[in-house]
Amino acid sequence: MNYRQQMDKIAVYFGTITKIYHECAKLHGMSYNTLMVLGALRHYQTCTQKQIVEQWATKQSVNTIVKKFHSEQKIEFSHGRNNKEKLVAFTDKGKAFSDSVLEPMLMGKEVYHMYDYDFFYGNIIQNVDERLKAWQAKQK
């Protein structure tokens, strides 16, 4: 299998994973981005909105979802390294909600979960970085 075929196969996997997440979100009456924010908060436990935006969803979506979760008392804010930085974390209510939505997805057979995304994405970034450096070295 050549590089192009490998990349095409990975694209199909990402499409499949994304479709599964969209369907799971719909089953829970929420958007895909809401599901991704739940996954990010579960993954990081305590983080900034910026950290969520970097890998999980758009800035506007994250901000809207975080405000909604805060009004529903599912998350709480605390100060980070300075007064400007806000850390976000689940409350007990939010953790219970997250578990009720995500646990069945994480444990189901033949179901991709958010850590698959993280694994695949991390490998792709590393692979692309290595190939780019090799190509740049050849150009010198």
Report the pLDDT value the prediction gives residue 5, as an integer from 0 to 100.
Answer: 82
Return the pLDDT at 66.
96
**Residue 24: inside a domain, yes or no?**
yes
Residue 49 covered by a domain: yes
pLDDT, position 14: 81
* Residue 112, pLDDT score: 53
Q: Strands, E, within 69-130: which ranges?
A: 75-79, 86-90
- The total of structural domains in the chain comes to 1
What CATH number did the domain enclosing 41 receive? 1.10.10.10
- Specify if 124 maps to a domain: yes
The pLDDT of residue 59: 93
Q: Is the pTM above the cut of 0.85? A: no
pLDDT along the chain (140 residues), means of 10: 79 82 89 93 92 89 96 94 89 94 68 59 71 76
Predicted pLDDT of residue 111: 54
Q: Identify the domain containing residue 96 by its residue range.
A: 3-131
Q: Please give the angle made by the CA atoms of 67, 90 and 108, to the nearest 5 degrees.
A: 110
**Tokens representing residue 129 in the block:** 């970085």
